[in-house]
């Protein structure tokens, strides 16, 4: 698919034509990655963050109750995930350096010694030495969204910290060089994001040859500069990408077509916009992963990157049951094993 074709689909509003896009993406998904939906147990290990991102509720200046899970709590969540048959746990946090390199490495080693799980890290922009240490300890995957390929827009929503230049594309290339399965993604509908920029984002997915790609609608926290409308970049209203459920499905579908081997989640942001069917629609339009939340309930509401997140009141067992039911309801099966990327012909 050419860039011009991608732009055409991003602007398409005809429901009958969009059904063609959904069908094409679903056919590619079925042919390349099959009917299995892989479950990744999400553990939100800390809501501390040194960053001042313009949209995120965890930004350093926001006043909220901060937490950092204990090592024993994280290990217990991982063991529970393994008992449910999940193949992967995802340890996610704000970018915070109270989480030390050695502390994370020790947790990785213990989870690996106790379970058959793959370990995915999503801990923000860390030094290369940290990434190397964690890979040596046994981490398998790393998630780091580049959020937008437009440098000007990125700088607006994600200012540098302590005069350190943020270069997520460079970090993603380093992660691939370290042999991590590497994941990234973007937000859809950021104020100032044009259709041209979003098409460039999708093309960058292919250029980076990503193993995992997470895309979802832009949802800002009201207690942030973007949420308050304080940080803006004016663009022609006809060129502004809408932060809608429909646009998110378009990007999921186009990403599947352009990156057929990638693992693509149907995200919690989709479920937040459409609690009844958001995840199912994502799975039917190209996605093949869901991420049931393993975070203890006492912490979930504190990990408020945006308000009204889906599933914050469920237990891990309730979340597991709900996810399985949603998967079975659309005729798909629950994946077995770690569910890593399988390259065609290998």
pLDDT in tens, 27-85: 999 999 999 999 999 999 999 999 999 999 999 999 999 999 999 999 999 999 999 99
Q: What is the pLDDT of residues 112-131, one digit of tens each?
A: 999 999 999 999 999 999 99
Q: What is the pLDDT of residues 298-338, one digit of tens each?
A: 999 999 999 888 778 888 898 899 999 999 999 999 999 99
pLDDT over 70, % of the chain? 99
Please, which pLDDT band fits residue 165 given cuts at 50, 70 and 90? confident
In order of start, what are the domains of the chain with their CATH numbers? 3-330 (3.20.20.70)
Q: At what angle do helices 15-32 and 245-258 cross, to 10 degrees?
A: 40
Question: Which residue, among 198, 216, 208, has the nearest Cα to 285 in the 3D structure?
Answer: 216
Q: Are 312 and 227 in contact (CB under 8 A)?
A: no
Q: For the CA atoms of 171, 177, 182, 187, what is the dihedral angle to 10 degrees? A: 30
Give, as one character, the DSSP assignment of residue 262. Answer: S
- Tokens 């746990």 belong to 89
Residue 209, beta-bridge partner list: none
What pLDDT does 344 receive?
Answer: 77
Q: Are 269 and 248 in contact (CB under 8 A)?
A: yes
What pLDDT does 275 receive?
Answer: 86
CA distance 99 to 102: 9
Give, as one character, the DSSP assignment of residue 215. Answer: E
pTM of the model: 0.95
Q: What is the mean pLDDT of the chain?
A: 94
Torsion region of 229: left, alpha or beta (phi above 0 gives left; psi -120 to 50 gives alpha): left
Q: What is the mean pLDDT of residues 247-265?
A: 97
What pLDDT does 345 receive?
Answer: 62
For 316, phi then psi, to 5°, come to -60, -40
Q: How far lies 196's CA from each of 3, 16, 192, 241, 303, in Å?
A: 9, 24, 11, 9, 32
Q: What is the mean pLDDT of residues 100-110?
A: 98
What pLDDT does 77 receive?
Answer: 97
CA distance 61 to 78: 31
What pLDDT does 262 receive?
Answer: 97
Q: What is the pLDDT of residues 206-237, one digit of tens each?
A: 999 999 999 999 999 999 999 999 988 999 99
- Tokens 């398998």 belong to 140
């Amino acid at each position: 698919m050419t860039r011009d074709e991608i732009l055409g689909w991003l602007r398409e509003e005809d429901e009958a034509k969009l059904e063609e896009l959904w069908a094409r993406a679903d056919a590619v998904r079925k042919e390349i990655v099959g009917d299995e939906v892989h479950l990744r147990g999400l553990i939100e290990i800390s809501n501390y963050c040194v960053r001042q991102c313009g949209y995120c509720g965890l930004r350093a200046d926001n006043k909220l109750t901060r937490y950092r899970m204990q090592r024993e709590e994280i290990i217990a969540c991982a063991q529970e995930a393994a008992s449910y048959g999940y193949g992967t746990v995802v340890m996610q946090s704000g970018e915070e350096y109270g989480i030390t390199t050695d502390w994370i490495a020790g947790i990785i080693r213990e989870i690996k010694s106790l379970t058959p799980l793959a370990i995915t890290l999503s801990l923000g922009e860390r030094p290369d030495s940290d990434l190397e240490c964690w890979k040596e300890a046994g981490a398998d995957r790393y998630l780091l969204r580049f959020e937008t390929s437009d440098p000007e827009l990125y700088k607006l929503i994600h200012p540098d910290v302590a005069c350190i230049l943020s270069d997520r594309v460079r970090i993603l290339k380093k992660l691939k060089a370290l042999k991590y399965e590497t994941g990234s993604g973007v937000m859809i509908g950021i104020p100032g994001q044009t259709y041209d920029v979003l098409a460039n984002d999708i093309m960058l997915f292919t250029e980076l040859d990503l193993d995992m790609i997470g895309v979802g609608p832009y949802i800002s926290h009201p207690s942030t500069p973007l949420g308050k409308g304080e940080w803006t970049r004016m663009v022609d209203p006809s060129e502004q990408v809408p932060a809608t459920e429909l646009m998110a499905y378009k990007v999921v579908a186009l990403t599947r077509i352009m990156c057929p081997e990638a693992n693509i989640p149907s995200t919690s942001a989709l479920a937040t916009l459409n609690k009844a069917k958001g995840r199912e629609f994502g799975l039917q339009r190209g996605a093949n992963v869901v991420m049931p939340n393993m975070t203890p309930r006492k912490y979930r509401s504190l990990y408020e990157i945006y308000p009204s997140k889906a599933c914050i009141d469920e237990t891990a067992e309730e979340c597991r049951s709900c996810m399985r039911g949603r998967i079975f309801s659309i005729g798909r099966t629950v994946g077995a094993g770690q569910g890593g990327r399988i390259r065609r012909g290998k």
